[in-house]
Amino acid sequence: MTRFSALVGTAGVCALTCLGTAHAATTEPTLGQAGDFIERDFHFSEGTTLPEIRIHYVTLGTPRRDAHGEIDNAVLLMHGTTGTGKAFLAPAMQRELFGPGEPLDTRRYFVVIPDGLGRGGSSKPSDGMHARFPHYGYGDVVEANHRLLVEGLNVHHLRLVLGTSMGGMQTWMWGERYPDMAAALMPISSQPIAMAGRNWLWRQMIVGAIRNDPGWKDGDYTVQPSQWTRVMPIFTIMTENPARMQSDAGDREKATKLYDSLVDKAQKTDANDVLYWFESSWDYDPAPQLSKIRARLLAVNFDDDLINATDLGVMQEAIRAVPNGAFVEMPESAHSYGHQTLAHPEVWKPYLVKLLSETSTSN
Encode the chain in three state secondary structure.
CCCCEEECCCCCEEECCCCCCCCCCCCCCCEEEEEEEEEEEEECCCCCEEEEEEEEEEEECCCCECCCCCECCEEEEECCCCCCHHHHHCHHHHHHHHCCCCCCCCCCCEEEEECCCCCCCCCCHHHCCHHHCCCCCHHHHHHHHHHHHHHHCCCCCECEEEEECHHHHHHHHHHHHCCCCECEEEEECCCCCCCCHHHHHHHHHHHHHHHCCCCCHHHCCCCCCCHHHHCCHHHHHHHCCHHHHHHHCCCHHHHHHHHHHHHHHHCCCCHHHHHHHHHHHHHCCCHHHHHHCCCEEEEEEECCCCCCCHHHCHHHHHHHHCCCEEEEEECCCCCCECEHHHHCHHHHHHHHHHHHHHCCCCC
Which ranges of the chain have pLDDT less than 70?
Answer: 1-32, 361-363
Is residue 308 within 8 Å of residue 318, measured between CB atoms?
no
| All structural domains of the chain with their residue ranges | 5-194+284-358, 210-279
How far is residue 272 from each of residues 45, 55, 58, 128, 153, measured CA to CA in Å? Answer: 19, 18, 25, 11, 30
Q: Is 79 a known active-site residue?
A: no
For residue 212, the model assigns a pLDDT of 98
Q: Which of 122, 273, 305, 336 is catalytic?
A: 305
State which fold the 5-194+284-358 domain adopts.
Rossmann fold (3.40.50)
Give percent of the chain with pLDDT exceeding 70: 90
Q: Do residues 34 and 57 lie in contact, with contact meaning Cβ atoms separated by under 8 Å?
A: yes
Question: Of 56, 79, 135, 339, which residue is the catalytic one?
Answer: 339
Let me know if 23 is a catalytic residue. no
* Cβ neighbours for 334, distance < 8 A, ≥ 6 positions apart: none
Is 105 assigned a catalytic role? no
Write down the pLDDT at residue 8: 33
Give the orientation angle of helix 271-279 with respect to helix 197-211, to 10 degrees: 150
Give residues with Cβ within 8 angstroms of 143, minimum separation 6: 177
Overall pTM > 0.85: yes
Query: From its phi and psi, is residue 344 left (phi > 0), alpha (psi between -120 and 50) or beta?
Result: beta
pLDDT at 3: 34
The pair phi, psi for residue 186, each rounded to 5°, is -135, 90
Catalytic residue among 123, 165, 280, 281, which?
165
